[in-house]
Structure 1
Amino acid sequence: MTKGDGRNLVLQVDDDPTGWKCFVLRGKSAFTLRTTVDQMKKRAVIFAELKKAKITTFWCKNELRVMLEPPAVPALMGESVALRCAVWGGKAETAIFYKDKLLIANITKDTYIITNATQDHTGQYRCHATYRYSHISAEAALQEGDSEAQELNVIDGPPATTVYSTSPESLECFCRDCPDDCTSYYWYHTLLSDSFVRRRLPENTDIITIKEGGLFNCRIECGKGFSRFSKVYSYEAQSESESVNVLSIMMTVILTVLGVLIVMLIVLMMLKCRKCGGSYQVTDRRTGGDQIQLNSLPHSGREQGQG
């Protein structure tokens, strides 16, 4: 603008513009500006002029200390959504959340989490928080305030896939709501040591064998497009020593169980043989392998002193 000229600046807000204040900085001096508020159009108008300054800065801010932070994009059905009750320059000690002016949660944390979003979760949300600036002063007074209402939209998107383990060394890409004409599987792998590089794996099957640890996710190509990406599955590969230890422990357990079963089988056979009056042979190692035949007697003979 040329010196002495002016312009009308418009502040457009989503809710009530009454709580907003506008300021101007000319050189090193800052001033509060008088605004003209239009409640119907939800906006405020200020007159901006340079006066004698070469550069002039104008800005506006909301005086509310408490604000509700919704997701930056519409939430997808079936996914989790976090609504955070934030405090400028501090942290909420307690928070109460409202949906369409109805109380929905009274919790001690500053975040309300919707675990499985549906169309019923669409609406206007706001929160009421209690807080204190204890980091500034240990004796800071407890304060409270309300946030402005924020709109949450839950929309229906492509179906989501899920990655889960089918064995210690394999993963499966599964999609419950995908159509039957899905043809291609896309697997992606990210190393734990370099989380900024994600590479696509060559496998085009629903089940893959894991060759190294890292972060895995997948999506499926169906008739009219792709599914959503699955959530990341974290896998930590076992070292060779750990694999050997696990194998040796499993073999020890198996041999121990087999040994116990064999001993139990022998004991049962001996008891059965004694009850039926049969005989069994024992090899005497001291006589060079001579066999001695032992005949078991019926119980009635023993009770009468026979033998």
Structure 2
Amino acid sequence: MCHTMIMRGVQHLLLLAVFALLARCQQKPQVSMSPTLKPIFSGDLFFLRCNSGGSSVTWYIDNDQQTITNDTWKIGAASPKHSGSYQCESESGQTSDSFSISVLDYVPSASLTIRAGQPVVRTGSSVVLQLEHEDGLWGWKCFVYRGVSTKKIQLKLRNDSVSVVFQPKRLDVPETVFWCTDKTEQNRSNQITVRTSVKDVSLEMYPLPAVVGESLTLKCLAWGTDQISRTFFYKNNDILPGSHSSTYIISTVTESAMGRYKCNATFTHKARTEGPPYEVASDDQDVFVQAPPMKAYLSATTGLSCSCPRCPENSFYRWYYKNNDQPWAVMDNKQAVMMPKASGTYACRAVWNNGRSSLSIGYVYQSPTPILIGVFIVLVILVLAAVVFFIWYKKRNATGRIYEDMPLRSRDEYEKLQKRAQKEGEYDTLHPEAPGRQKKEATLKQRFTLTISSHPPVLLSGLDYQQALRPLLLVAGLGRARCLGYLCYLGWRPQVEADSCPARTDVSCLPSGAPWAAAVEAPSGSD
């Protein structure tokens, strides 16, 4: 009897197992997404899962069968081509309900970047992240997905914060995804994916997906040293030609660049003085390629102009500026056209409600101000030089009066100048016999005097000839003078006559009103 009861219990258990298996086989599969993203932007990473209960499934997009058969589908870089209605079919033929996905063809309104650290870190390490939103971060929060569940990261914000830096907990899983949203979850940041490795060599690349038409740089790094003597890069386990340096650059990315990459490095450490170098291969890293999102275009004609043909009509523009290697700084101008002032690099993008275009290519602007200032300074110097030269030339050829004109009424009103008898050797007491003396005096006489004999004699009023002679000789070349009488010379010996100069052939006189045509210098030794 006991045996019979045991047999009946076993039968009941078997029936229950069969019913459970039948129910499970007849259960309708479901499609889910993790992490849950609202909305989905170009470049996002997410997983689609089909809980069919079987080992393999069949995927459909808009009723078109796909080649993938795993129950988990990883989309590493979302693009508009991934938009559609997804379904999965179990081994029993059960088909899930449709799961709609719409990938936006632009980038989110906030920016999440790695402030410190690398996209690949040692297991147990972490990174420092920076979140920026140009319209403020009040009410924003961040999330982390570690392959199983999604957790929230609470941020410490001020009311006027537009940027915040934070460090998440240590990273222990192979792949961790970060992103941030506002209260409505309609405004979002881009994602940052950080991977971990226990190896001494890692393959580093830009933490965002590669974009078609742009460049991609891969770096092979060895922890704790930069003494890498040789490097090889691999794609899908095939060695890439010409990849012997520690950096490999794909100048123009195409969809064919997508694949699994790794590097093999030969290196040593400074403290290692003997023994062969190390040779280590990195972990494989997935390189995903996305189609280029909406992009702004900057042109330079009359000023700088920004345009985005594919962007919404209600878009406005933001301008950015940086000098040298500084980060981009937001400018106040929100118009499509702006006039740059300072030298530096300018870029722009279109912005609307919950998104924006990607940044335009930077335009390097060189301000003409230094050139204009230099030209202005040169012109000022030239003008000043011209003014100085003009003043000098004006003084050199001035025609102002040297002596004041006095009316002639009668000869008795003027004093006669006293004649001073002078000796023949008075002008050369040191070397009376010096050769060429007579020739020099003749030349000076010809240079400093004019021979005139047709004017009536007039007295030189009230001036001693020694007082009059020196200024006349020194400034004669600088202008025009009027004399009240004759100033007579006998060689270089001045003679003043009340009525007339001596009637001698070697006497030269300068009449009243005569122009002084030659530059005058006082002869050496004269008074």
TM-score (normalised: structure 1) = 0.49
TM-score (normalised: structure 2) = 0.30
Q: Which has the higher contact order (CA 8 A, sep 6+)?
A: 1
Structure with greater Cα Rg: 2
